[in-house]
Amino acid sequence: MTRVIWCATLLLALAPTLLSAESRIEPALTVAALLRSQSLSDSELSIVRTEAARLWKRYGVTLTWSNSVADAQPSPYAVLVIVSERDSSDPAGGPPALGSVMRVGDAFMRRIIVSRPAIHDFVQHTTGVPDASDAFRHLNARMIGRVIAHELGHLLLNSSTHSPFGMMRQSFGSADVRADDLRRFTLQGHELELLTESVRAIRSEAVPGAGVRAND
């Protein structure tokens, strides 16, 4: 009983910090995402878009999606998202990368590449759900959206580092595939500070009325 009371007291003491952490970001930033995929169905793409947008919405970041440059909405921040059909196996024998971004000098290219085969194998291995089922297609598409959200985090935070918890963890597991809520995909306090600084910089550098195209 003493331990239960102590835990409850600790949670109450931490509650203001936990609740205020996500409110420190100054909204708002609209990210125009150009999504390219050769294999995902329209329904799967809808799940991908919805999940990636859901994970970032609470931090004041709105994702808009388009399939071509001509349809893209003007935005101070645009990014190209490619769902690749290439295998991303690690030559050193490590687990394949689910997604990647590239840093050039002090900044990242505004391009995200996620590996559909790697994510497919990861979801199949961690869940055991038959890949011909509707349940698998839903989990797989949702995980693609979550990997996109993670990689977008590197771009928006302008950081290649990972966190031991939340959205910016280096690796994901079965619970991250199956979880329906957002608690496993949060930003940590220092990451929110980086996001705030990044959003301010992006908004201050934006030219009114000018769109920015993602790197091809």
Tokens 């949702």 label which residue?
142
> What are the C-alpha distances in Å from 101 to residues 15, 59, 95, 151, 180?
34, 21, 17, 7, 26
Provide the 3-class DSSP secondary structure of residue 48.
Answer: helix
- Expressed as residue numbers, the domain containing 71 is 26-205
Q: Which segments of 23-106 are extended strands (E)? A: 29-37, 61-66, 77-84, 99-100, 103-104
SS3 98: coil
In a domain, 152, yes or no: yes
> How many independent structural domains does the chain possess?
1
- Write the CB contacts of 180 (distance below 8 Å, at least 6 apart in sequence): none
CA pair distance 2, 74, nearest whole angstrom = 57
Residue 127 included in any domain: yes
> Would you list the DSSP string of 134-188?
HHHHHHHHHHHHHHHHHHHHHHHHT-----SSSTT-S---HHHHH--SSTTSPPP
Which pLDDT score is estimated for 116?
96
Q: Say if 211 falls within a structural domain.
A: no
| Domain assignment present for 157 | yes
Q: Which amino acid is at 144?
A: I
CATH of residue 84's domain is: 3.40.390.10
Nearest alpha-carbon partner for 151 in 210, 83, 59: 83
Give a yes or no: residue 4 inside a domain. no
The tokens for 69 are 């440059």
Q: Which of 133, 131, 122 is nearest to 173 (CA)?
A: 122
Nearest to 160 by CA among 118, 119, 111, 101: 101
| Position 39 in a domain | yes
Each residue's pLDDT expressed in tens, for the chain with a length of 216 residues: 434 333 333 333 444 444 444 545 455 899 999 999 999 999 999 999 999 999 999 999 999 999 877 677 778 899 999 999 987 665 555 678 999 999 998 889 999 999 999 999 999 999 999 999 999 999 999 999 999 999 999 999 999 999 999 999 999 999 999 999 899 999 999 999 999 999 999 888 764 443 433 333
pLDDT of 35 reads 96
How many helices (H) and strands (E) in the chain?
6, 7
Residue 193 within a domain:
yes
Residues forming beta bridges with residue 30, ordered by sequence position: 62
